Structure 1
Amino acid sequence: MPESTAPGSGELAPSQSAPSSASEASTSRVSAALAGIAPSATLAVDAKAKALRAAGENVIGFGAGEPDFPTPDHIVEAAVAACGDPANHRYSPAGGLPALKAALAAKTRRDSGLDWDASAFLVTNGGKQAVYNTMAALVDPGDEVLLPAPYWTTYPEAIRVFGGAPVEVFAGIEQGFRVSIEQLEAARTERTKALLFVSPSNPTGAVYPRDEIAAIGQWAVEHGLWVITDEIYEHLTYGGAVHHSLPVLVPEIADRCVVLNGVAKTYAMTGWRIGWMAGPADVIAAATNLQSHATSNVCNVAQAAALAAVSGDLEAVAMMRAAFDERRQRITELLNAIDGVECPVPEGAFYAFPNMEGLLGRRYGGAEVTTTLELAAAVLEHAKVAFVPGEAFGAAGYARFSFALALEDLTEGISRIADLVA
């Protein structure tokens, strides 16, 4: 829609008319459920950076959570071949192509040791639909979902849209961004339905060790809670950190556990929009029914590409991980060299999550900055560097920097911030 006719732009859109009364003016034109959803802060930052680049500004963006590598050739070639197969020009099963679901079961068995049948998997339009489907299947109005913070921006919105209440459990830099059982127990009430567990973490890069995962899983079993575990960064761990799948360590949780994953991060396939959820038969059946009405089948060509990805070797993944490893060490070094910034070394994913509170209470470009929201705006305006402020992740005072960008751009971007705040 053109800017001049966008609602809120100062002019009425063609389909609108002026409200006839104060009462009508105060009534939202959209449902309360959707009116309450906050926009994706990470996508907004990325869009702003791209818009400034298009206008000729030399902006370096740390906002987007996507690899900067192209999708490996063999995956693209599989998609090209699929385009020529007439079978892919037609509807396919809403829950996913049978060959892909079988491959997902085999891949999961290979990579994490979780041995679930192909029928336990539902192929979705990206990891976000897997999150949405899961909340739709599990959350009723009034249910509480324990949400360790800092968290990915989509999680609380997906919980709220179905009437659930995200209960934030914060673990800061002094805890390595890992919540404790004591914290979870303190947050649990009789309305607690589920725990959303993520390791490796977006946005912090934290990776829970084996014993902590097992203890959290056993705690959930003891209290009859569901566990929703997002494993999309399973292959992106560094140094001595290792990914462990919670239902593998605690098999007793299997009947009350949903595992989320996707090809986006591991195989540099963010634009292909293939994710999946795996879980108990009744949950998968309910989510499949929802998807059959919401979107029907996922794009067949993208499914063919995903089949090639998860069935192939991990050589390209190892190459990308090595590059990310070098970048994570460099960005941590550069951020910690800035007076007022404290950045732990991320153990997984491709994000650094520094504490920026030491940069607040100063003036940049003539204006005093008191929050990381204001700091992000000042840095974008005066240094032409985009990052996502911690408020988007339930962590005011922090910031997320994706290091999925070229090493020279990464170095230039952090150096610009250092020059601005010096």
Structure 2
Amino acid sequence: MDEDTRRLVAVAERLIDAAKRAGADAADAAVVRSFGRSVSVRLGKVEDTESAESEDLALRVFVGQRVSTVSANIDADVGRLAERAVAMARVSPEDAYAGLADADRLAEGDIDLDLYDPTSLSSEEMVEQALALEDAARAVSGVTNSGGASVSAGASGLVLATSSGFSGHRMRSGFSRSVSVIAGEGVKMERDYDFDSRIHYGDLEAPETIGRRAGERTVRRLDPKLPKTGSYPIVFDPRIARGLIGSLVGAINGAAIARGTSFLKDRMGEQVLPTSMTLIDDPLLPRRAGSRAFDGEGVRGERMALVEDGILKSWVLDTATARELGLSTNGRASRSSGGVSPSSSNVILSAGSQSPEDLIRETGNGIYVHELIGQGVNMVTGDYSRGATGFLIENGELTTPVSELTIAGNVRDMLLSLTAANDLDERFSIVAPTLRIEKMTVAGR
């Protein structure tokens, strides 16, 4: 534990002591530290450089079955903050499910998940990389303008202490490179982008690789057509597939189940994916975006199947939501300045046996979607309607770019008709390959 972490642990422990002196029956305190730098360039010139560092705290107190959460900058008066939190709790409505995680569920011992890389980049290095990103993208024939390139590096850490005796800390670094460019002229311009984001600096793709791919993606979108209205097989690019699986994860979040606002609220133990598919949540994977040695309540989550062989097996639960549903937490609590809520960690959909190219070839005729517009998912009913762009699939090949179409269906039916490729990308907290949906309604010309 370094000096900064020891200092933040001491702040959290003082908050707990102050809350108890102010009359709280129980409390937990989170101290969050973050720091980072970023640079952005456009058309070969530096547009912006930023550096930020913050230390904030959140105190959650319980008075009987009443709870409140307050947040402040780390320089706040600890005693006054605790008094205010307790006063707020005393006038809050009772919550029969409020309380700290059971002591026997709290994490013990340290686990090194290799989530912190201390690499420090100078502003000059970051500018050089951003310029290389943009230069590579603009060098692609057909690219006519730039939306800019950016490079960022930083880290964030959490210290958590509870009145039941838990004390833990974790730190995560992050490095990213991104670029956006434009192809075409006038009303026939198209835009696209590419990026990479990693926990460890050495894992980042080269700026030239990212930039070239962004340029090629953009040029390929030129001169789009509007497909005929009809019913088509739809293939989702992994960027879009992650969002679809995210909708599934949102639908099995315990908070949505407890409120009755999920289209899967009555489907536990039933088939929600094809029998060939399993969906895993695992917070203990080294060097992964969603990993954490303990959750926002100090509980150590373990690998679990959300969906196994197509059958829904688990909700995503924190302590309060689990109690409301008559269950036990599975260590999926996340913290924010507003309190604690359930949240998944590393969600991984099982891969299929085909390459993306083979999946497209097998599709024959359909539409490949690489970008969606709008937030047209009704989480209560599962109804799905989004604007989309992509490519026609004709005779098993990607051909004409298409845009300004709308795809529609119901997420329950979409999930049950999935076929997966084998191109899992492990950079993200939701890992999903290229996915094909058997049929969706397409509104075109």
TM-score w.r.t. the length of structure 2 is 0.23
Which protein has the bigger strand share?
2
TM-score w.r.t. the length of structure 1 is 0.24
The structure whose RCO (Cα within 8 Å, separation 6+) is larger is: 1
Which protein has the bigger helix share?
1
